[in-house]
Amino acid sequence: MATPSPTPATSVPAAPRKPAPVPGQKRARHLRWTRIAAATTVVGLAAFVGLALWKILTSKPSLLSSQEQGCADFLDGIAKQVKDYVEKRGRLPETLGDLRHPDLASTFDAEPWDCWNKPIEYRIVDAAKQTFRLRSTGPDLKPDTADDIHWPADQPWR
């Protein structure tokens, strides 16, 4: 049996050499990326400013002062207590003073007053439908003026 003859060692071809950089090629690449980064920054800033302006222009300014808003929130709380009264009793209370009862969760001791030291007005619109209205006379302390605060806000007092 013949032994195989050794094969001559094959040489591994060398990796191709990179061509020498053309003068200014590195600088041109740097300038290209600088332009891309600048354009991206400008587009991002423009988008941010546009979004901020859109948010400012589309937001509804509050027409109520903080004191008036607090009174509107107070009327919302009273309306919730009236609705709780209706759930437990099956009818609307005759006065807001009726909300103060040991078996009812009420946050005031007597009939509620607004932040201008005037009593909150309560009116039953339709007892059968259990609809009612609440009103504060507002900062001018006069009823039926433009600064009156109503609950529900989208319904007239009368």
pTM for the structure as a whole:
0.56
Residue 1's pLDDT is what?
56
70 in a structural domain: yes
Residue 35's pLDDT is what?
93
Residue 134's pLDDT is what?
92
Q: Is the pLDDT of residue 108 over 70?
A: no
Asked whether 134 and 151 are in contact (CB, 8 A), the reply is: yes
Number of domains in the chain: 1
Q: Can you give the residue range of the structural domain that contains 103? A: 66-151
52 in a structural domain: no
26 in a structural domain: no
- What's 137's domain CATH number? 3.30.700.10
59 in a structural domain: no
125 in a structural domain: yes
Residue 115's pLDDT is what?
82
Q: List phi, psi (to 5°) of 125.
A: -85, -50
Residue 65's pLDDT is what?
73
141 in a structural domain: yes
Q: Is the pLDDT of residue 117 over 60?
A: yes
